[in-house]
């Protein structure tokens, strides 16, 4: 890459579409690139008709030639590693794409001015089939992303989080399959972990100091196929889990080094329906406020989950402080073709 171009990955309606940046296409191993001069990442042109898109796709992660890392994720959704172009310990991510519950249907939306309905093929007569389910998916997504926006703006965080917690429908979140995957810690212990030194027009990317991966120690396991796809199997109480933090620092220690040179965590824990908070130690955080700031060496907790969805996870500390995590991997979208071949999911 050259100049100030960025590489992002966007996915929409089972196909890649260009945005107002240079795209890097990636589908489980084969890659190519394409550039676009089209203006407006919220529109798509089909047959001469320009169709406005709401929040139907979002870049998953990006790489830039300064200040950020490359996130490498396996086809099974697990984190491989992160690399860097300089010495700054930060990872750049973006909001995850919407998970449409009903697969392979055409997403529809209505122009608020003309009242005309559209889908990916252009204008249509009325809303599409399953529009009620699409609307519910969008509401859940927007509610979760409103907390991200609240954390980034440091405004109305507690009430936004409480709104999510009050509607949480997961009975045993510490055993839910949705807990598994790669997460970005947006807030830890009530402190924002996002770097605030990016320009306001930087494409909505979010920079954080590290990622957290929660995975089965014995490898991925899948549940039976249903009408909506194949997803990770629900956890059993007592099942072995690994919690690993990753950034540019390749050292792995106990998490309490005084100099912060190896404040990375690799913990082995047991899945527990009691959902009790467990302190995992210190990690290398964001040092913008100085080495003694609360954000410089935050403590990582596992458990105390009060809200869990495809996109977000909320934990409460014993003192009520908020941990907020944003999804990075794509496991919540269901097993891919590569997953089905690898794990013999026929």
Is 68's pLDDT higher than 60?
Answer: no
Confidence band (pLDDT; 50, 70, 90) for 200?
low
How far is Cα 249 from Cα 209, in angstroms, rounded to an integer? 10
- Mean pLDDT, rounded, for 252-276: 70
CA triple 334-340-342, angle to 5 deg = 125
Average confidence score pLDDT of the chain: 75
Q: What is the pLDDT of residue 264?
A: 82
Q: What is the DSSP letter of 226?
A: B
The Cα 64–Cα 36 span in angstroms is 18
- pLDDT at residue 329, as a whole number: 95
Which of 9-13, 90-94, 187-191, 224-228 has the highest average model confidence (pLDDT)? 187-191
pLDDT at 296 over 90: no
pLDDT digits (tens, 9 = 90+) for 76-127: 444 444 434 343 568 999 899 999 998 888 899 899 999 999 998 999 999 9
Residue 140 phi/psi, 5-degree rounding, is -60, -45
Whether the per-residue pLDDT at 314 is higher than 90: the answer is yes
Per-residue pLDDT, 50: 37
Q: What is the DSSP string of 160-173?
A: HHHHHHHT---SSG
Q: How far apart are CA 45 and CA 88, in angstroms?
A: 39
Spatial distance between the Cα atoms of 17 and 13, rounded to a whole number of angstroms:
9
pLDDT computed for residue 346 by the predictor: 72
Bridge partners (DSSP) of residue 192 are 187
pLDDT band at 1, cuts 50/70/90?
A: very low
Interval 209-232: pLDDT, tens: 999 999 999 999 999 999 899 999
Answer yes or no: is pLDDT of 207 > 60: yes
Please tell me the distance from the alpha carbon of residue 126 to that of residue 138, in angstroms, as a whole number. Answer: 18
Integer Cα distance of 45 and 58 in angstroms: 18
- Give the pLDDT confidence score for residue 105 in this predicted structure: 83
Q: Does residue 205 carry a pLDDT above 70?
A: yes
- 3-state DSSP assignment of residue 175: helix
Asked if pLDDT for residue 292 goes beyond 70, the answer is no
Which three-class secondary structure state does DSSP give residue 16?
A: coil
- Residues 6 or more apart from 144 whose CB is under 8 A from it? 164, 309, 311, 312
User: For the ranges 103-117, 242-256, 282-296, which has the lowest average pLDDT?
Assistant: 242-256
Confidence band for 169, pLDDT divided at 50, 70 and 90: confident
Nearest alpha carbon to residue 190 among 158, 160, 167, 164: 158
pLDDT of residue 13: 34
DSSP string across 49-103: EEEE--S-----BEE-SSS-EEEEE-TTS-EEEEEESSS---EEE-PPPP--SST
Q: Give the distance, in angstroms, between the CA of residue 252 and the centroid of all CA atoms in the same chain.
A: 23
> 30-67 pLDDT, tens per residue?
333 333 333 333 333 333 433 333 333 333 443 333 34
Residue pair 165/122 in contact (Cβ under 8 Å)? The answer is no
The band of 199, judged by pLDDT with boundaries at 50, 70 and 90, is low
Q: Does residue 75 surpass a pLDDT of 90?
A: no
At residue 293 the predicted structure's pLDDT band, cuts being 50, 70 and 90, is low
CA–CA distance, 330 with 77 (Å, rounded to integer): 6
């Amino acid at each position: 890459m050259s100049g100030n171009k960025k590489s992002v990955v966007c996915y929409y309606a089972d196909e890649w579409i260009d945005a107002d940046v240079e795209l890097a296409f990636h589908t489980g191993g084969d890659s190519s690139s394409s550039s676009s001069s089209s203006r407006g990442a919220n529109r798509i042109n089909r047959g001469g008709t320009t169709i406005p898109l709401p929040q139907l796709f979002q870049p998953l992660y990006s790489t830039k030639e300064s200040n950020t890392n490359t996130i490498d994720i396996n086809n099974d959704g697990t984190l491989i590693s992160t690399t860097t172009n300089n010495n700054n310990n930060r990872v750049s991510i973006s909001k995850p794409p919407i998970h449409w519950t009903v697969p392979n249907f055409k997403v529809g939306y209505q122009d608020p001015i003309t009242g005309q309905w559209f889908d990916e093929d252009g204008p249509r007569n009325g809303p599409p089939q399953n529009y009620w389910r699409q609307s519910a998916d969008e509401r859940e997504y927007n509610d979760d992303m409103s907390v991200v926006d609240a954390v980034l703006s440091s405004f109305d965080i507690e009430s936004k989080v409480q709104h999510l917690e009050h509607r949480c429908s997961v009975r045993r979140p510490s055993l839910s399959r949705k807990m598994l995957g790669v997460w970005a810690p947006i807030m830890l212990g009530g402190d924002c972990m996002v770097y605030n030194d990016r320009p306001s027009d930087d494409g909505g990317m979010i920079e954080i100091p590290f990622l957290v991966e929660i995975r089965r120690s014995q490898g991925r396991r899948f549940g039976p196929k249903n009408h909506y796809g194949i997803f990770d199997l629900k956890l059993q109480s007592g099942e072995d889990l690994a919690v690993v933090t990753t950034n540019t620092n390749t050292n792995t220690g106990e998490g309490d080094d005084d100099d912060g040179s190896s404040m990375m965590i690799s913990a082995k824990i047991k899945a527990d329906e009691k959902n009790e908070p467990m302190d995992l130690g210190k990690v290398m955080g964001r040092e913008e406020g100085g080495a003694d700031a609360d954000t410089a060496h935050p403590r990582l907790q596992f458990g105390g989950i009060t809200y869990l969805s495809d996109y977000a996870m909320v934990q409460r500390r014993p003192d009520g402080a908020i941990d907020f995590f944003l999804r990075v991997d794509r496991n919540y979208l269901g097993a891919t073709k590569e997953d089905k071949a690898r794990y013999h999911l026929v």
